[in-house]
Amino acid sequence: MTHVIITGGSSGIGLALAHIYAARGARLSLLARSLPALEAVQAELARDHRETSIHIESADVTDEDQTFAAIRRCEDAFGPCAILITSAGIVEPGRFEALSSAAFNRQIRTNLLGSVHAVRAVYAAMKERRSGRIMLVSSGAGLIGIYGYTAYCASKFALHGFADALRSEAKPHGVSVSVCFPPDTETPQFSRELEHRPLEATVIMGRVAPWSSATVALRIARAIDKGQFEVFFGWTLWALGRFGSAVKPVLNWWFDRGIRRIGGGGERP
């Protein structure tokens, strides 16, 4: 039975993915920091999907040793990891100068290095077995810079670069590496983020309805099935992903115009 490890599997997109793989009867390992949240989700999944087996690990992905040890325990319980999905992530919006170094670094450490730590924990063995699939969860904010999201964009752009380079290293060894760029998606993170999203960002991103986490997760799972490298959601993000250097100047012009119109960029409290 396929062993699927999902970091950030206790909430949002990671949890929606857990439901998909649990419905397929996979062996599931979920990693997150909060043990009570993991236990609640384990009970929920066991209730909804009787065929599945679920292992939970409380670990902080910013800590490489903790991540390695947790993933080792997952593999001891359920065997080698066939699919790794790195969905653990955080976002703390705020203009660059208003964002503390701690908040900036936390986002890089969690979103970029947290993913790298999880990949490092499974990659060598996947290569040896000549099989395995890795899906990194970036963001639409990994395709274009957004006002108030310097740290988050940096972390998610960097994940794309990591995925791009690792893909070519991994392919000759039978390991597939993918990266997805979800749009605004209804999750607990999104609700928290909205409270802190600068008005400028709301204006430039428009007031498009967020996607449901189930729809986003389904598309991610299908991309993993196909070994698809990049996964875009909606035509704007697709155009940005495929034709970024041509599309970005136009979008940036549009964004700057929107910010000017609201008299944005100033020192509002």
Ligand X SMILES: NC(=O)c1ccc[n+]([C@@H]2O[C@H](COP(=O)([O-])OP(=O)(O)OC[C@H]3O[C@@H](n4cnc5c(N)ncnc54)[C@H](OP(=O)(O)O)[C@@H]3O)[C@@H](O)[C@H]2O)c1
Q: Does the protein bind ligand X through residue 198 (CB under 6 A)?
A: no
| Residue 50 CB, nearest approach to ligand X (Å) | 23
Q: Does the active-site annotation cover 29?
A: no
How far is 8 from 237, CA to CA, in rounded Å?
Answer: 23
Is residue 84 within 8 Å of 31, Cβ to Cβ?
Answer: no
Nearer to ligand X, 114 or 241 (CB): 114
Q: Does the active-site annotation cover 138?
A: yes
Of 71, 74, 119, 137, the residue at the interface with ligand X (CB under 6 A) is 137
| Residue 130 CB, nearest approach to ligand X (Å) | 28
Q: Does the protein bind ligand X through residue 90 (CB under 6 A)?
A: yes
Catalytic residue among 29, 87, 138, 178: 138
Going by C-alpha positions, the residue among 116, 122, 132, 121 that lies closest to residue 68 is: 121
| Residue 133 CB, nearest approach to ligand X (Å) | 18
Site string for ligand X, 33-62 (x = CB under 6 A): xx--x----------------------xxx
Nearer to ligand X, 106 or 127 (CB): 106
Q: Does the active-site annotation cover 152?
A: yes
Nearer to ligand X, 127 or 238 (CB): 238
Beta bridge partners of 211: 185
Q: At what angle do helices 35-48 and 12-23 cross, to 10 degrees?
A: 30
Catalytic residue among 29, 87, 155, 156: 156
Of 188, 227, 244, 265, the residue at the interface with ligand X (CB under 6 A) is 188
Site for ligand X in 149-178 (CB under 6 A): none
Q: Which two tokens stand for residue 161?
A: 């670069």
Number of Cβ atoms within 10 Å of the Cβ of 61? 27
Positions that interact with ligand X (CB under 6 A): 7-8, 10-14, 31-34, 37, 60-62, 87-91, 110-111, 114, 137, 139, 182, 184-185, 187-190
Active site residues per annotation: 138, 152, 156
